[in-house]
Amino acid sequence: MPIDVLIVAEHQGGKLARATWEAVAAGQRMAADSGGAASVVILGDQISALADELAKARLSEVLAVQSKLLSDYTADSYAFVLARVIREHAPDYVVLGHTYQTRDFAPKLAAVLGVGFVSDCLGYRKENTRLIFKRQVFQGKFEAEVEPLGQPPWLVSFQSGSFREDSVERAESHVSTVQIEIPPGTIRTQSGERFREARQTVDLGQAEIIVAAGRGIKSPDNLDMVKKLAEALGGEVGASRPVCDSGWLPMDRQIGSSGQTVAPKLYVALGISGAIQHQVGMKGSRTIVAVNKDKEAPIFEIATYGIVGDLFEIVPPLIEEIRKIKAG
Ligand code: FAD
């Protein structure tokens, strides 16, 4: 039986979130596996350029819901509008990136529709015509398989890095503008400043290169070396929890189960043991380079390249070499 999928796009500051492209990759695959169709819906004001950008993916259509009332995100407006679109288009699955915004409105949307929401999935497998979703439980120690029950539609969100942005299939797709009137009184809240846009916070989820420091760097004075490596590579600095708990770096740099989930192209782990709570936040990274003096450190189990040695001997010449290459 063909599975039809509706993907919900997310955007901020005139840019599509990376999670959107990952959700498109997931939705395209779910639909293609069964011979079904994948469409995208985008909500906002003045979103035609973003809708056109989405239409460069192979989709059956891009639904652009334009309204002044959607210029600022609110859970009320998103739940109201998406419920209307979903009822009209009747997809089997509604696919979302597991972002802060999704966490805010998707439970409400599921409640409005009276359907299930399988959140924060890592992937899925097909069993005949059924899709069974994988998600981590108990801080990533176990993987649970979840199958939504009842009648479709079902909502499903995927963790950052579960699907690759560069696996989105490209083609020219059609954009349809959808008019939905939002009745007065629907929106009961006003958005404040975005969490990720607050001063001095960093959205590591968008970073392409991250150099992360662990307890192995020994002292905050040595962070300078970590920052220099990040700078040389053109990346951001991240950290394991003890580094943030000690106040050596702000909490918004923490990566892991109680920090940010990241999936950069390159993740360099310096003096990080690779505890499961750290791994769940970064194992979706495409290339992982780990430097650790303990060859048994669990980080080496997931590293693409492992360097066993003292980071204080390895990192300074590495910075010099990268600078030389960049200088041509
Ligand atoms: P350590 O485990 O102490 O590892 C330091 C590593 O540095 C060692 O492997 C050592 O061999 C190496 N090293 C030392 N000196 C050198 C040197 N000179 N050169 C090279 N290598 C060296 N952790 C997170 O990171 N993120 C989270 O979000 C998070 N959430 C948690 C939530 C809960 C509920 C709990 C219980 C824990 C959580 N933790 C989290 C903590 C996690 O369990 C680990 O304690 C933590 O990740 C360890 O950090 P680390 O690897 O920097 O330190």
Q: Residues 6 or more apart from 123 whose CB is under 8 A from it?
A: 133, 134, 158, 162, 163
CA atoms within 13 A on the CB side of 74: 20
Which three-class secondary structure state does DSSP give residue 88?
A: helix
pLDDT at 196: 54
Whole-prediction pTM: 0.74
DSSP 328: -
321 lines ligand 1 (CB under 6 A): no
Nearest to 169 by CA among 318, 319, 301, 31: 31
Task: Provide the pLDDT for residue 200.
Answer: 46
Best mutation site among 240, 268, 302, 308 for ligand 1 pocket (most ligand atoms within 8 Å of CB)? 240
Nearest CA to ligand 1 atom 37: 277
> How many angstroms separate the Cα of 221 from the Cα of each of 116, 227, 242, 268, 269?
49, 11, 15, 19, 18
Residue 80 corresponds to which tokens in the numbers above? 């109201």
Structure tokens, 196: 């990720």
User: What is the per-residue pLDDT for 225?
Assistant: 98
Quick one: pLDDT at residue 198?
42
Predicted local confidence at residue 216, as pLDDT: 98
pLDDT for res 136: 86
CA 314 to ligand 1: nearest atom: 19
Cα gap 148→87, rounded to integer Å: 18
pLDDT tens-digit profile, the chain (328 residues): 899 999 999 999 899 998 999 999 999 999 998 899 999 999 999 999 999 999 999 999 999 999 999 999 999 999 999 999 999 999 999 999 999 899 999 999 999 999 999 999 999 999 988 999 999 888 677 889 999 999 999 999 998 878 888 899 999 999 999 999 999 999 999 888 776 544 446 789 889 999 999 999 999 999 999 999 999 999 999 999 999 999 999 999 999 988 888 999 999 999 999 998 899 899 889 999 999 999 999 999 999 999 999 999 999 999 999 999 988 8
SS3 286: coil
Q: Is the CB of 298 under 6 A from ligand 1?
A: no
Neighbours of 303 (CB within 10 A): 20
Look up residue 3 and give its two tokens: 């599975």
- The predicted pLDDT at position 192 comes to 83
297 lines ligand 1 (CB under 6 A): yes
241 ligand 1 Cβ < 6 A: yes
Pocket test for ligand 1, best of 251, 257, 262, 311 (most atoms within 8 A of CB): 257
Distance from residue 70's CA to the centre of ligand 1 (Å): 42
According to the model, what pLDDT value does residue 197 have?
A: 42
Strands (DSSP E) found in the chain? 5-8, 11-12, 15-16, 38-44, 61-66, 93-97, 117-127, 130-137, 142-146, 154-158, 175-178, 209-213, 236-239, 266-270, 287-292, 305-308
Non-local CB neighbours of 86 within 8 Å, separated by 6+ positions: 6, 94, 109, 113, 153
State whether the beta carbon of 261 lies less than 6 angstroms from ligand 1: no
Comparing CA positions, the residue from 72, 51, 81, 74 lying closest to residue 63 is 51
